[in-house]
Amino acid sequence: MATKAAPKRRIRHRVAGAARRHYSSRGGVRGILGSLLPMLAGAIGGAGSKVARAYQPQFGGIAVNAAVGYFMKNDTLMTLAGMEAGHNILAMTGIGNTASTSTGSGW
């Protein structure tokens, strides 16, 4: 006598559910805010660094870009702060072209 096989159970993987949530969250208000957040971080960093350079011309912009990048979790602003810090440190040592780096703006 042949026994009847147990019905197959459906297994739902977490990966498929997570992928659906990820793609479906791009629409609506949350998707719009998520896509504008990097631009907002850049605007805050740019405006803040311009104001900070009025008080500390050499490292004011670096500090603001690094702080905004850290608190808003924006790797691009952290990279820009590091590039500007390296540029200003080279200008302080006199290794780089001193004619273009003497302004203290970093760019």
- 98 contacts: CB under 8 Å, gap ≥ 6: 91
**Paired tokens of 27:** 């629409």
Global pTM value: 0.59
In tens, the pLDDT along 8-66 reads 766 655 555 555 555 444 555 566 667 788 888 999 999 999 999 999 888 999 999 99
Say which residue the tokens 């440190």 belong to.
89
